[in-house]
Amino acid sequence: MDIDQSNSNMDIGSMIKDQVVKSMKNVDVMSLLKNMAATATDNQESGEIQSKLQDILEKYNNMPEDMKAEFTGQLKDLLVKKLATKLKDAPINFSGLEEAIQNEIVTQMYYIGAGVFVLIVIIVFFGYKLYKSIKEKEKKREEKKKLKQMKKKK
């Protein structure tokens, strides 16, 4: 991989990371927490986390409206910062992406090739039938012509 391609991968990776962080800023944190608390799990550790989330949601429901807004803002900021640092530390690997795209392109080319082949076979088949029909008509015409000439000679 040359330098330009690795820089473009890094640019794409950083763009993806930035978009994830931006989209996280627009997430409804409380509905996200409610969904996490409502998700059924078999793991004991997850069950403890769910019970803690349910406690947080109960406390949130008992808060005044101004404190709710402040709490959700702080929670969202905290989640965005955590996510940004995690994404910054985690490199995005595009090595399998290029191969997957190439495989899909090859597969699509096979489908297109098969379709073109079938189309050509159909055109050749009907062309052959048309040619055969024309030759048959010419043959019959020639036979009629010969019969007429034979009748004239007799």
Amino acid at 10: M
Query: Does one domain contain both 3 and 71?
Result: yes
Same domain, 48 and 109: no
CB 33 within 8 Å of CB 63:
no
Same domain for 20 and 58, yes or no, is: yes
Same domain, 115 and 148: yes
Structure letter (DSSP) for residue 87: H
Task: Render pLDDT for 53-65 as a digit per residue (tens, 0 to 9).
Answer: 888 888 888 888 8
Same domain, 70 and 119: no
Q: How many domains are contained in the chain?
A: 2
Q: What percent of the chain has pLDDT over 70?
A: 90
pLDDT of residue 3: 42
Q: Note whether 115 and 50 are same-domain residues.
A: no
Query: Which is higher by pLDDT, 139 or 92?
Result: 139
Whether the per-residue pLDDT at 26 is higher than 80: the answer is no
Whole-angstrom distance, CA of residue 32 vs CA of residue 52: 14
Question: Which position has the token pair 């929670």?
Answer: 75
Residues 84, 48 share a domain: yes
**Range of the structural domain that residue 129 is part of:** 96-154
Query: Would you say 87 and 20 are in contact if contact means Cβ atoms under 8 Å apart?
Result: yes
pLDDT, position 40: 66
pLDDT the model gives residue 11: 65
pTM exceeds 0.75: no
Q: What is the mean pLDDT of residues 26-49?
A: 74
> Residues, the chain, total?
154
Same domain, 5 and 58: yes
List the one residue out of 19, 47, 16, 50 whose CA is nearest residue 35.
Answer: 50
Q: Is the pLDDT of residue 10 over 70?
A: no
75 and 116 both lie in a single domain? no
Contact 60, 71 (CB under 8 A): yes
Per-chain mean pLDDT for the chain: 82
Burial class (CB in 10 A: 0-12, 13-18, 19+), 68: middle
When pLDDT is cut at 50, 70 and 90, the band that residue 4 belongs to is very low
Q: Which of 72, 93, 114 is the last residue of a domain?
A: 93
| 3 HSE (CA, 13 A, CB side) | 0
CA 152 to chain centre: 77
- Residues 97-120 have pLDDT tens digits of 788 889 999 999 999 999 999 999
For residues 72 and 139, state if they share a domain.
no
pLDDT tens-digit profile of 75-96? 888 888 887 788 777 777 777 8
30, two tokens: 């409380």
- Asked if 154 and 105 sit in the same domain, the reply is yes
**Do 102 and 82 belong to one domain?**
no
Which of residues 34 and 136 earns the better pLDDT score?
136
Could you give the CA distance from residue 86 to residue 104 in angstroms, rounded to a whole number? 31
